Amino acid sequence: MNHEDTIKIIAEQLQARPHNARVSLIRKGISHKVPNAHLEDDKTHKIYVGELNRILKIDPQNRTCTAESGVTFSDLVKETLKHGLVPYTVPELKTITIGGAISGCSVESMSYKYGGFHDSCLEYELVTAKGEILQCSPEKNAEVFQMLHGSFGTLGIITKITFKLHPAKPYVKLTHARYENFADYQQAIQNEYDKPQYDFMDGIIHSPTHFTLCLGTFVDEAPYTSNYEGQKIYYKSTRQKTEDYMKTYDYFFRYDAECHWISRNYGLENPVVRFLFGRWFLSSTNMIKTAKKLRFIFKHLKPEVIVDIFVAMSRFKAFYEFYEKDFDYFPLWIVPYRIARRYDWMNEKFMEGVNDELFIDCAVYGLRQKKGRDYYKMMDEKLLELKGVKTLISHNSYEPETFWQIYNKTKYDHAKKLTDPENIFKDLYQKTHNK
């Protein structure tokens, strides 16, 4: 079946849905929305999009790629590397798809130069709620193109994406620089942002006295290469090593085996457990799959905190002070992120007074909530105060009025009217708010 036939079948499924039915997508592979027993809604009519997994064209001369939205970054990087190219943003988990990266605001260690995956995209093909095919780009249906970023599947189904590619080399040389206090660490991030000397920058705060900045450069040759899919653990290596080399593919997915460090919550850092059960559980895909299967058993427990927040560099210190005192949970993943142009989904009024181009994505992965505290709520409140925003991959406790102070309702409603006037995909608030 070719691409045209695939989207025709998707459009027909939408047109044939039962009257008034809300819809959701079924695809091959797993979803990286945080498992949440309270949010699952199995009453929706399912639209199958599992065939959207082809890379349609790689153009090495113009350094572009056109692919279907269900292509995973793992498959994509394997193919583009054959041409000495990679996407501008490669989220660190292997089975995140390119459609999911746009809809869910993906980030990674080139984000301090290039922003998120959406920022490298030239064109989207969208199947609207009515089953119409819409081409969107910064020039054509621009209001829809811009709002698809961070729309979490509420504006239609992205079926095809054309995006830019970046030159790559076979290996990455890593330098792990250690800082013992926040001020020096923040300054080091700012310095690399102002005058970049590397290709990649992310960071891991291991403790209040151990801040690591991981700086990477593409290289043609490597004296040795490390691999962190077996007994060795990447995030721990950044505490001990000052230098490392990895194959480029392995570098991009360096956090995958542990799903950052969530594996430790399940005893998977124990060498014996790894040896005996590692092949079944190590990898973000297996861990998320298992968590989803078990979510109904643990419904009574408070969910682990998994959240990505973006705070302006000028407010990073205030955020970190709050985090260290009230969360005190480490490692904390740090991804500097350039917002060259304010995203359309951000509410301009909310962002008034924040003039930074550099934001810091702080990713909290796997915090177990203590009794009597709702860490998601605490984070939501702090973000309001600091004019920070979060990606909506997990729990959202805002009331609608507050939510729409942060996210841009005028622009969202406008795009929604064009692509889903009957709200069959739910709106952004309905889809992401905790019940």
Task: Kindly indicate which of the ranges 104-112, 128-136, 227-235, 407-415 contains the residues binding ligand FAD, using the contact rule CB under 6 A.
Answer: 104-112
> H helices then E strands: how many in the chain?
15, 16
**Could you say whether residue 115 binds ligand FAD (CB under 6 A)?**
no
Interface with ligand FAD (CB under 6 A), residue total 27
Best CA proximity match to 253, nearest among 219, 277, 285, 279: 285
For residues 321-380, which are near ligand FAD according to CB under 6 A?
none
Question: Which one of residues 13, 69, 141, 263 is an interface residue with ligand FAD (CB under 6 A)?
Answer: 69
Question: Which one of residues 6, 32, 162, 202 is an interface residue with ligand FAD (CB under 6 A)?
Answer: 32
φ, ψ for residue 293, nearest 5 deg: -65, -35
Both tokens of residue 292? 């989803």
Report the nearest approach of ligand FAD to the CB of residue 89 (Å). 7
Pairing of strands 243-247, 210-219: unpaired
Q: Say if residues 122 and 64 touch (Cβ distance below 8 Å).
A: yes
Report the nearest approach of ligand FAD to the CB of residue 20 (Å). 20
Q: For residue 389, is it left (φ>0), alpha (ψ between -120 and 50) or beta?
A: beta
Give whichever of 104 and 131 is closer to ligand FAD, judged by the CB atom.
Answer: 104
**Could you say whether residue 204 binds ligand FAD (CB under 6 A)?**
no
Give whichever of 125 and 380 is closer to ligand FAD, judged by the CB atom.
Answer: 125
For residues 229-288, which are near ligand FAD according to CB under 6 A?
255, 259
Pairing of strands 85-87, 171-179: unpaired
Question: Which one of residues 76, 87, 108, 216 is an interface residue with ligand FAD (CB under 6 A)?
Answer: 108
Give whichever of 49 and 184 is closer to ligand FAD, judged by the CB atom.
Answer: 49
Report the nearest approach of ligand FAD to the CB of residue 97 (Å). 3
Q: Is it true that the peptide bond before 18 is cis, omega within 30 degrees of 0?
A: no
Give whichever of 216 and 220 is closer to ligand FAD, judged by the CB atom.
Answer: 216
Give whichever of 145 and 255 is closer to ligand FAD, judged by the CB atom.
Answer: 255
Give whichever of 314 and 433 is closer to ligand FAD, judged by the CB atom.
Answer: 433
Helix (H) or strand (E) holding 217: strand 210-219
Report the nearest approach of ligand FAD to the CB of residue 289 (Å). 12
Handedness of CA 310, 311, 313, 316 (dihedral sign): negative
**Could you say whether residue 131 binds ligand FAD (CB under 6 A)?**
no
- The label of the residue with tokens 């079924």 reads 26
Task: Kindly indicate which of the ranges 6-14, 26-34, 234-242, 411-419 contains the residues binding ligand FAD, using the contact rule CB under 6 A.
Answer: 26-34
81 burial level (CB within 10 Å; 0-12, 13-18, 19+): middle
For residues 135-194, which are near ligand FAD according to CB under 6 A?
152-153, 157-158
Amino acid (one-letter) located at 126: L
Distance CA 409, CA 412 (A): 5
Q: Say if residues 205 and 211 touch (Cβ distance below 8 Å).
A: yes
**Within a 13 Å sphere around the CA of 281, how many CA atoms are in the beta-carbon half?**
19
| DSSP collapsed to 3 states, 144-209 | HHHHHCCCCCCCCEEEEEEEEEEECCCEEEEEEEEECCHHHHHHHHHHHHHCCCCCEEEEEEEECC
**Could you say whether residue 393 binds ligand FAD (CB under 6 A)?**
yes
**Could you say whether residue 87 binds ligand FAD (CB under 6 A)?**
no
**Could you say whether residue 67 binds ligand FAD (CB under 6 A)?**
no
Residue 432 pairs in a beta bridge with none
Question: Which one of residues 104, 131, 150, 388 is an interface residue with ligand FAD (CB under 6 A)?
Answer: 104
Distance CA 276, CA 353 (A): 54
Question: Which one of residues 36, 74, 97, 162 is an interface residue with ligand FAD (CB under 6 A)?
Answer: 97
Quick note: the x/- pattern for ligand FAD over 34-63, rule CB under 6 A, is: x-----------------------------
Question: Which one of residues 7, 76, 77, 96 is an interface residue with ligand FAD (CB under 6 A)?
Answer: 96
Question: Which one of residues 87, 91, 115, 150 is an interface residue with ligand FAD (CB under 6 A)?
Answer: 91
Question: Which one of residues 14, 65, 85, 93 is an interface residue with ligand FAD (CB under 6 A)?
Answer: 93
**Could you say whether residue 100 binds ligand FAD (CB under 6 A)?**
yes
Distance CA 133, CA 202 (A): 38
- Sites of contact with ligand FAD (CB under 6 A): 25, 31-34, 69, 91-93, 96-97, 99-101, 103-104, 106-108, 152-153, 157-158, 255, 259, 306, 393
